[in-house]
Amino acid sequence: MGIIVGGYARISDVGELGDGRDGEEGVTRQKEDVHDLVKVRSLTLHRMYVDNDLSAFKRRVKRPDFDELVSDLETEIIDGIAAYNIDRVTRQPGQLERLIDIYERARRPMVFATTAGDYDLSTDDGRFNARLYVMIANKFSADAARRVARQKKAEALQGKPHRGVAPFGWMDGGEKAEPFEAELISKAHRDILNGKLLSEVHAEWVELEVRSRQTPPGRNITYTAVRYILTNPRLCGYRVYVPQAEREKRGRIDLSEFVLERSDGTPVIGEWEKICSPDEWRAVCDVLKSRAMKGRGRKKGTTVTKRLLTRLARCGECGGGMQSMMYTRGTVSFDRYGFFYACLKAAGGCGGVSRSGPPVEEHVEGLLLGHLRRMSKALRSGTSEINPALVKARVDLDQVKAEIAEARQLRESGEFPLKEFVREIKRLDDRRDVLEIEVATLNVSGLESSTTAAERIIREWGTYTTPMKRAAIERFIEAVVIKKQPRGGNHAFRSDLIDVIWK
Ligand SMILES: [Zn+2]
């Protein structure tokens, strides 16, 4: 009966081996090769082990029949392997070592037969040849993988859509937009540029039972998936190319880092239907990025202020910024108002002014809506709703202001050497001045878009969340000055003690 061997055949990735033995036809040829080889060598074939359409080069890929082959060698069901070529058995040095280990320990004659010759894995020479060959094959595979990647990139450069499942926002095939999803994205973009938080958009989508392509059945779409969808460069037509190595390296990737560029530095534009303009896409990415950055710099223990007039309320006595604080639980003021704005000595103010929060906020809301109505009546024309340059400048300005505040905080806590602090604060102040001028200029030149924005804000005010209201208020109001309440008399809210400074 002689020596019993397992025949092994594998269909590789396209172009990996290039020996004409891939695909359905190729595996038939490999099997024929093995049968011929077994006959010529007077071996007995136990059975064929075939792994389909998988790469022997990629370590992650599972090869069930290869594993069975190894296990059958170990348990002495078979005494060897017959294959067209050692390439076909493995291109992974680690897998070859598993085989060598079995052959070395064996107390029976074993063979490793290929149409290109035998490898005697019980001798140093045989092992050396096998290792060398697998190492070279491994290198060729890596080259072939790069070749496939280059081919995909070439297609990408021609603006061809990705193969596979269409991304969120498009119908199968990826060419035509899916109307419902596209509208969801557009609305979320508008909302975010108007101050809505990504977490709020996420909550809405969960409520609407929106699902991403990757959402498992019975689960909600994740926050990260929403961010991924809304910042996908594909939305504005930009072609993205993420090399396979990058995809394997990390989990979620920031697609905006992988926009394909032509040699002149301009983005490659795809052939599919666009869902937003490049400016809008860029603005959304910038806004989300800058918010994330601000969140990171925050120290533990400091409150993230969410009041409507945070950053806007100013003390009428000393001009300092006012903080919001909660009244003591159980007091009448707590039950009626909940919180108040105050100029605090601890924050560098005079400590002389404080005012219950809600009446001030209601008053300012009323003033803003009145202001917007007058504005939209006075200037009724306009096209673009969003001025991306303005959005960008405002985001940058907020960022610089946050950095200034942070630098001061660090200085106060002694973590910032004076000399460096002075230099840093000078740089930031200069930057802030430049940006403030830019914002003011854009506000003026953007009057038309402000008008349409005004109409939209009036219409949608009832649906606005606090961050959106705050963004709207900050768009039109520079500061809200709260003046000292005279001693005596009742404590009824007096609107004449509130001065709104418009932009
Ligand atoms: Zn003050």
pLDDT in tens, 450-492: 667 788 888 888 888 888 888 888 888 889 999 998 877 667 8
Residue 163 lies in a domain: no
Q: What is the CA(356)–ligand 1 centre distance, in A?
A: 15
Residue 68: which pLDDT band, with cuts at 50, 70 and 90? very high
Residue 486 lies in a domain: yes
pLDDT at 447 over 50: no
My answer on whether 79 and 209 are in the same domain is: no
Residue 375 lies in a domain: yes
* Average of per-residue pLDDT across 234-252: 77
Pick the range with the lowest mean pLDDT from 11-20, 68-77, 267-276: 11-20
Q: What is the CA(353)–ligand 1 centre distance, in A?
A: 6
Q: What is the CA(498)–ligand 1 centre distance, in A?
A: 14
Q: What is the CA(318)–ligand 1 centre distance, in A?
A: 4
Residue 327 lies in a domain: yes
Spatial distance between the Cα atoms of 389 and 280, rounded to a whole number of angstroms: 10
Q: What is the CA(370)–ligand 1 centre distance, in A?
A: 28
pLDDT at 288 over 60: yes
Residue 34: which pLDDT band, with cuts at 50, 70 and 90? very high
My answer on whether 371 and 471 are in the same domain is: yes
Q: What is the CA(317)–ligand 1 centre distance, in A?
A: 5
Residue 296 lies in a domain: no
Residue 308 lies in a domain: no
Taking each helix axis from N to C end, the angle separating 447-460 and 418-445, rounded to the nearest 10 degrees, works out to 90
My answer on whether 150 and 194 are in the same domain is: no
My answer on whether 29 and 149 are in the same domain is: yes
The parent domain of residue 231 ranges over 179-276
Q: What is the CA(420)–ligand 1 centre distance, in A?
A: 29
Spatial distance between the Cα atoms of 57 and 148, rounded to a whole number of angstroms: 14
My answer on whether 241 and 184 are in the same domain is: yes
- Residue 79, domain CATH: 3.40.50.1390
Q: What is the CA(434)–ligand 1 centre distance, in A?
A: 28
pLDDT for the residue numbered 57: 56
Residue 303 lies in a domain: no
**Closest C-alpha to 485, from 497, 468, 502:** 497
Distance of CA 386 to the CA centre of its chain: 23
135 vs 304, residue with greater confidence: 135
Residue 408 lies in a domain: yes
Pick the range with the lowest mean pLDDT from 114-123, 203-212, 243-252, 407-416: 243-252
Q: What is the CA(491)–ligand 1 centre distance, in A?
A: 19
Q: What is the CA(372)–ligand 1 centre distance, in A?
A: 30
pLDDT for the residue numbered 70: 94
Q: What is the CA(351)–ligand 1 centre distance, in A?
A: 5
Mean pLDDT of the chain: 81
Q: What is the CA(367)–ligand 1 centre distance, in A?
A: 24
Report which listed range, 290-294, 339-343, 405-409, is most confident. Answer: 339-343
Spatial distance between the Cα atoms of 242 and 381, rounded to a whole number of angstroms: 43
Neighbours of 161 (CB within 10 A): 18
* Average of per-residue pLDDT across 80-97: 88
**Is residue 40 exposed (0-12), middle (13-18) or buried (19+ Cβ within 10 Å)?**
exposed
Q: What is the CA(198)–ligand 1 centre distance, in A?
A: 35
Count of residues making up the chain? 503
Total tally of structural domains belonging to the chain? 3
- For the chain, how big is the Rg over CA atoms in Å? 34
My answer on whether 475 and 336 are in the same domain is: yes
Give 128's contacts (C-beta < 8 A, 6+ positions apart): none
pLDDT for the residue numbered 410: 84
pLDDT at 83 over 70: yes
Give the dihedral of Cα atoms 155, 157, 158, 163; nearest 10 deg: 40
Spatial distance between the Cα atoms of 255 and 241, rounded to a whole number of angstroms: 8
Q: What is the CA(497)–ligand 1 centre distance, in A?
A: 14
Q: What is the CA(24)–ligand 1 centre distance, in A?
A: 82
Q: What is the CA(426)–ligand 1 centre distance, in A?
A: 25
188 vs 413, residue with greater confidence: 188
My answer on whether 43 and 97 are in the same domain is: yes
Over residues 160-212, the pLDDT tens digits come to 665 667 889 998 888 899 988 999 999 999 888 888 889 889 998 998 889 98
Q: What is the CA(296)–ligand 1 centre distance, in A?
A: 30
My answer on whether 212 and 337 are in the same domain is: no
Q: What is the CA(348)–ligand 1 centre distance, in A?
A: 8
My answer on whether 216 and 330 are in the same domain is: no
Neighbours of 223 (CB within 10 A): 15
Q: What is the CA(313)–ligand 1 centre distance, in A?
A: 11
Domain end: 228, 247, 276, which one? 276
Spatial distance between the Cα atoms of 421 and 411, rounded to a whole number of angstroms: 7
My answer on whether 153 and 183 are in the same domain is: no
Would you say 38 and 7 are in contact if contact means Cβ atoms under 8 Å apart? yes
Distance of CA 108 to the CA centre of its chain: 57
My answer on whether 80 and 191 are in the same domain is: no
Q: What is the CA(352)–ligand 1 centre distance, in A?
A: 5
Distance of CA 365 to the CA centre of its chain: 35
pLDDT for the residue numbered 20: 64
Spatial distance between the Cα atoms of 466 and 374, rounded to a whole number of angstroms: 23
Spatial distance between the Cα atoms of 69 and 49, rounded to a whole number of angstroms: 7
pLDDT at 51 over 90: no
228 vs 299, residue with greater confidence: 228
My answer on whether 100 and 195 are in the same domain is: no
Q: What is the CA(321)–ligand 1 centre distance, in A?
A: 8
Q: What are phi and psi of 457, to 5 degrees?
A: -65, -45
Would you say 103 and 94 are in contact if contact means Cβ atoms under 8 Å apart? no
Q: What is the CA(344)–ligand 1 centre distance, in A?
A: 7
